[in-house]
Chains A and B, each alone.
Chain A
Amino acid sequence: MDFTFSPEHTALRRMIREFVEAEVAPIAAELDREHKVPYEVMRKLGEIGLLGVCFPQKYGGMGAGETGYCILMEELGKVCTSTATNVGAHIGIGAMVIHLDGTPEQKEKYLTPLSRGQKIAAFGLTESNAGSDAANIRTRAVREGDSWILDGGKVYITNGGYADIITVMAVTDPALGARGGVTAFIVETDWPGFSVAREEDKMGIRGTSTAELVFEELRVPHENVLGKVGEGFVSFMKSLDMGRLTLGAACLGGAQAALDWSVRWAKRRRLFGAELAHKQSVQWMIANMATEVEALRSLVYRVAWMVDTGQPFTQLAAMCKMYGSEVASRAIDMALQIHGGLGLTRDYPIERAFRDARIAEIFEGTNEIQRIVIATNIFREHGVRIRP
């Protein structure tokens, strides 16, 4: 068993760290304060190929695999959860479906500009009646000649306010439901019939666009059907599985940052005649945080390796997301406690990280759904079919 990163992944991490420190760290607080999307950073990431980190070089990507993508998310997660979220929605769910199920023509036309950051992607699944219950979506797609007409809308779509390409899930046969009745479409946001209704004003990840989208007689050409008609659900679920792993990687970065800040503060802050580092209660908090971070790191990169070597990973990816989001929440909570009053001031990054962390337990499949996925998989291996 060789637990070292390959030379290209080590070099990639160094490149990303340099970029993140120079381009993302200086603007992280401003993105949150001003509720701004990091357009410039996204463009620069695209220019050097990072927005296609896991996509093939043939389609403008870097070819660094899931491991490379996890490294990107981890390094971003250390510094700016908002930026990591923009990137994750673009690569991990938006463009990923095209990578997994697109035809060569679709990849040529869409994946290449997405990999180079010339266009930005989003993933349109959630509706007001359908979050965890994704099969309950109502957006309708009706065939008309060589096009489909989409009517309906989506909510809480990350990058929705500025994406150029959105992979949208719509019902093509209401009678069949999730199995055979849902189709994935590649939608270009400058087509007539597409509009952004509003942006959410959120507690955390305020450097992201979380948009409500409206489709009114939105005409989509038939060649933009992604995968087979009626098999949209399968495409999306595959892509969500991979997105879970990389969200776990972003949480790893966030938890590591919380740990690093806590150690640094514990070295400096003096009370009752000694630094915080000498107080057992703080030592235990640090020890707990550090252990969970290491466990999460081992899990995330092992699953990345499994993806890169073609092994099944659904259950473990769900664990990455579930465990990662909870580790990050615990870590930032402990970090806030260790910093005391300083942790609450808006001049210091802890309070922003605290607000940013919470969403990870909810989006990309709530932790409740993740637990169902894990348990269902375990019991299936034992011959028991869990009824949802």
Chain B
Amino acid sequence: MRIVVVLGRVLDPAGIVVNARAGRVFVNREEYLLQPADRCALEAALRVKDELGAEVVALPRSPLPDDDVLRQALALGVDRAIYLTGEGLRQADDAAMVRALKAAIERLGGADLLLTGATTLDSGQTQLGPRLAEALGWPQVTAGWSLKVADGRAQVVRQQGSQYVLVEAMLPAVVTLQPGSLKLRYPDGARLVNIYKNVGEIAQALETWDAVELVGEPLTPLVEGRGRDFPPPRERGARAAGSAAEMAQAAAAALRQRVGR
């Protein structure tokens, strides 16, 4: 059985300070985390591997300037990791990345299960998993809280309305996991040292493929950035006016807008 896990990195928000008034984002400490939801997807993959035996292969969710995220995945226990490079890959958005990932999966010889995070920490993107499912022609189960594989089926608990339900799909399938859904394992220390020192068997497990060569044509993005915007500067100390009923209305409006219910 082969499980593909698609992983990405995100700048640690604890190292960022946003100055809304100046319209600037200051990066005080540039440290990258593995996307929390992708980390849960990786954990889910490793649990299936522990239980049923499988080859777990890590692929990148977006263009990466270095292979650190893939080394982390190897330290955590994946069998192989593929670092994608290529002229013109740098600007790829999700739509472009899907083409590269589909080609990479074909070159691997296919897979039985594709796992990735349900959402990204920074931009709240949920589309990668479903896009991959469409491109591969596989069923998708999104926003899962747990995963079990048995009898060629993926069984996932997900939220539907206010309830948690158990759903299942035949493999091959794409399943995306919620951040915080699983208790995460720690990397194995010796594996970690070896992969970062490039020694031992594990060093062979990290490969580099040229994405543009795989796909056979440039990977132009469909969506492009058009700058940033900042929330209005925080005005503390505002008081709601009027009767208790009017104050309640003002409070309700403010809450509804921010809690989104």
A264, chain B: closest CB distance, angstroms: 13
How many interface residues does chain B have, given as a range? 10 to 19
Contact indicator B186/A15 (Cβ below 8 Å) = yes
B172, chain A: closest CB distance, angstroms: 32
**Interface Cβ pair total, 8 Å cutoff:** 52
Contact indicator B193/A12 (Cβ below 8 Å) = yes
Let me know if A48 is at the binding interface, CB within 8 A: yes
Let me know if B158 is at the binding interface, CB within 8 A: no
Let me know if B227 is at the binding interface, CB within 8 A: no
Contact indicator A63/B193 (Cβ below 8 Å) = yes
**B71: A residues at CB distance < 8 A:** 11
Contact indicator B189/A64 (Cβ below 8 Å) = yes
Let me know if B190 is at the binding interface, CB within 8 A: yes
A21, chain B: closest CB distance, angstroms: 11
Contact indicator A12/B186 (Cβ below 8 Å) = no
- Which of B31, B189, B197 touches A48 (beta carbons < 8 Å)? B189
The proximity string for B residues 170-202 relative to A, scoring 1 for CB distances below 8 Å and 0 otherwise, is: 000000000000000011111011101100000
Give the distance in Å from the alpha carbon of A57 to the alpha carbon of B189 in the complex: 10
**A12: B residues at CB distance < 8 A:** 189, 192-193, 196
State which residues 57-97 of B face A: CB under 8 Å: 68, 71-72, 75
Contact indicator A15/B196 (Cβ below 8 Å) = no
**A44: B residues at CB distance < 8 A:** 186
Give the distance in Å from the alpha carbon of A63 to the alpha carbon of B195 in the complex: 12
**B190: A residues at CB distance < 8 A:** 49, 57, 61-63
- Which of A7, A8, A49 touches B188 (beta carbons < 8 Å)? A49
Give the distance in Å from the alpha carbon of A10 to the alpha carbon of B68 in the complex: 11
Given contacts A11-B72, A11-B75, contact A49 B196 (CB under 8 A): no
Let me know if A50 is at the binding interface, CB within 8 A: yes
State which residues 3-22 of A face B: CB under 8 Å: 6-8, 10-12, 14-15, 18-19
Let me know if A53 is at the binding interface, CB within 8 A: yes
Let me know if A38 is at the binding interface, CB within 8 A: no
Residue in B closest to A52 when the chains form the complex, CB atoms? B189
Let me know if A68 is at the binding interface, CB within 8 A: yes
Residue in A closest to B185 when the chains form the complex, CB atoms? A48
- Which of A6, A48, A52, A57 touches B187 (beta carbons < 8 Å)? A48
**B193: A residues at CB distance < 8 A:** 8, 12, 57, 62-64, 68
Given contacts A11-B71, A11-B72, contact A62 B196 (CB under 8 A): no
Residue in B closest to A56 when the chains form the complex, CB atoms? B190
Give the distance in Å from the alpha carbon of A14 to the alpha carbon of B190 in the complex: 15
Given contacts A11-B71, A11-B72, contact A48 B196 (CB under 8 A): no
**B194: A residues at CB distance < 8 A:** 57, 63
**B188: A residues at CB distance < 8 A:** 48-49
- Which of A6, A10, A18, A53 touches B189 (beta carbons < 8 Å)? A53
B236, chain A: closest CB distance, angstroms: 14
Contact indicator A15/B189 (Cβ below 8 Å) = yes
- Which of B68, B187, B197 touches A15 (beta carbons < 8 Å)? B187
Give the distance in Å from the alpha carbon of A377 to the alpha carbon of B72 in the complex: 44
B132, chain A: closest CB distance, angstroms: 28
Give the distance in Å from the alpha carbon of A49 to the alpha carbon of B187 in the complex: 9
The proximity string for A residues 111-134 relative to B, scoring 1 for CB distances below 8 Å and 0 otherwise, is: 000000000000000000000000
**B186: A residues at CB distance < 8 A:** 15, 18-19, 44, 48
Contact indicator A11/B196 (Cβ below 8 Å) = yes
B166, chain A: closest CB distance, angstroms: 28
Give the distance in Å from the alpha carbon of A49 to the alpha carbon of B196 in the complex: 16
Contact indicator A8/B187 (Cβ below 8 Å) = no
Give the distance in Å from the alpha carbon of A91 to the alpha carbon of B39 in the complex: 31
State which residues 45-100 of A face B: CB under 8 Å: 48-50, 52-53, 57, 61-64, 68
Among A8, A12, A52: residue with most chain B CB under 10 A: A8
B192, chain A: closest CB distance, angstroms: 6
**B68: A residues at CB distance < 8 A:** 11
Contact indicator B189/A50 (Cβ below 8 Å) = yes
Give the distance in Å from the alpha carbon of A57 to the alpha carbon of B197 in the complex: 13
Contact indicator A49/B189 (Cβ below 8 Å) = yes
* Given A62-B190, A68-B193, 14 more pairs with CB closer than 8 A: A6-B197, A8-B193, A11-B71, A14-B31, A15-B186, A15-B192, A50-B189, A53-B189, A57-B190, A57-B194, A62-B189, A63-B193, A63-B194, A64-B193
Listed A/B pairs (7) with beta-carbon separation below 8 Å:
A6-B196, A8-B197, A11-B196, A15-B75, A15-B189, A44-B186, A64-B193
The 10 closest A-B pairs by CB, nearest first: A49-B189, A8-B196, A62-B189, A7-B196, A48-B186, A8-B193, A57-B190, A11-B196, A8-B197, A62-B190
Q: What residues make up the interface of B, taking CB atoms closer than 8 Å to A?
A: 31, 68, 71-72, 75, 186-190, 192-194, 196-197
Q: What residues make up the interface of A, taking CB atoms closer than 8 Å to B?
A: 6-8, 10-12, 14-15, 18-19, 44, 48-50, 52-53, 57, 61-64, 68
